[in-house]
């Protein structure tokens, strides 16, 4: 049996506090690069879902399931890259100062995104196309929750 | 209960063939950016594990579990970014032509890495520190399987 077709369940144990400790030893430029990488990949897996939800691409249940699973992991990856030390990075970033001046609001935006992804993951296991498309739309909205307030407007 | 502390199990349905179709519409430069992003994040989550396995950082079971789960997803992400169309990318890449001239060998290197990550994920759920460190070492070896043969030597 091809391992690519196996269903592999696993558990997430989130060591948020612990990873903060490790993160404190990482160079500011690396923190920025890593968080941008997570955003790039969120775009990779969210893009095709958004196209489906908007009727611009044909619905495909396998893609919904796979991309949702990838987003489940990716939705946990960017945030420790916004550690205060990352403000000193000498590389280009669209991160706005509000990230650090309004931490509660930034945290709330992250939480909303993660909750929406969890809801998508939950419905991605069933075969309800409409529920999946609604959940995809809800995730899309929460992307905006950060991008509106905490990222420089893109040209 | 904080959702960050919940254990969330989910299933992976790998739509490899399907994502190839979608990938064919993506610009070569984006393919390169996305696959490099996946490698960057593999480094983010593998680095601390490697340090633990080598005794350079204190052992932490939660970090092993979390980082292994992230690697489980990340180990599936780079490969469609090496689609033949990505050879036309006008951006810097360390990818060697052997990727496309020796596809079976490249596939084998990917498979070895994914298998080693799966083995790590399996032991990351238990509390056997030595087994986990051995599994981390095994993953590290398979990173080299690609980097030795399919990536330009890094300065």
A-to-B residue pairs, Cβ atoms closer than 8 angstroms? 140
Cβ distance of B13 and A65 shorter than 8 Å = yes
ipTM given for this complex? 0.86
**Element housing B6 (H / E):** none
What's the pLDDT at A6? 28
> Which among A3, A7, A77 has CB closest to B70?
A77
d(CA A36, CA A38): 5
Q: What is the pLDDT of residues B30-50, one digit of tens each?
A: 999 999 999 999 999 999 999
Contact yes or no for A16 and B10 at CB 8 A: no
Closest Cα in chain B to A112: B3
**What is the mean predicted confidence (pLDDT) over A96-125?**
95
Largest CA distance in chain A: 52
CB contact under 8 A, A5 and B12: no
Cα of B139 vs its chain's centroid, Å: 9
**Across B97-109, average pLDDT:** 95
pLDDT of B23 reads 59
Tokens 């399907």 locate to B18
* Binary contact (A38, B38; C-beta < 8 A): no
Would you call B8 and A11 a contact, using CB atoms and an 8 Å cutoff?
yes
- pLDDT tens readout for residues A40-97: 999 999 999 999 999 999 999 999 999 999 999 999 999 999 999 999 899 999 999 9
Split at pLDDT 50, 70, 90, the class of B12 is very low
Number of other residues whose CB lies within 10 A of the CB of residue B5:
11
- Average per-residue pLDDT for chain B: 86
Output the CA–CA distances (angstroms, integers) from residue A136 to A26, A46, A111, A123, in the order listed. 34, 8, 16, 10
What predicted TM-score, i.e. pTM, was given to this entire model? Answer: 0.87
């Amino acid at each position: 049996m091809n391992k690519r077709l196996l269903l592999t369940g696993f558990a997430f144990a989130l060591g948020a506090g612990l990873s903060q400790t490790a993160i404190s030893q990482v160079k500011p430029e690396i923190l920025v690069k890593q968080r941008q990488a997570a955003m790039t990949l969120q775009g990779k897996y969210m893009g095709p879902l958004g196209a489906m939800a908007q009727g611009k691409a044909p619905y495909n249940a396998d893609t919904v399931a796979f991309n949702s699973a990838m987003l489940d992991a990716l939705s946990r990856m960017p945030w420790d890259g916004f550690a205060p030390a990352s403000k000193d990075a000498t590389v280009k970033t669209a991160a706005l100062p509000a990230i650090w001046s309004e931490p509660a609001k930034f945290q709330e935006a992250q939480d909303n995104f993660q909750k929406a992804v969890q809801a998508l993951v939950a419905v991605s296991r069933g075969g309800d196309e409409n529920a999946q498309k609604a959940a995809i739309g809800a995730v899309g909205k929460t992307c905006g929750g950060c991008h509106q307030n905490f990222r420089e407007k893109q040209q």
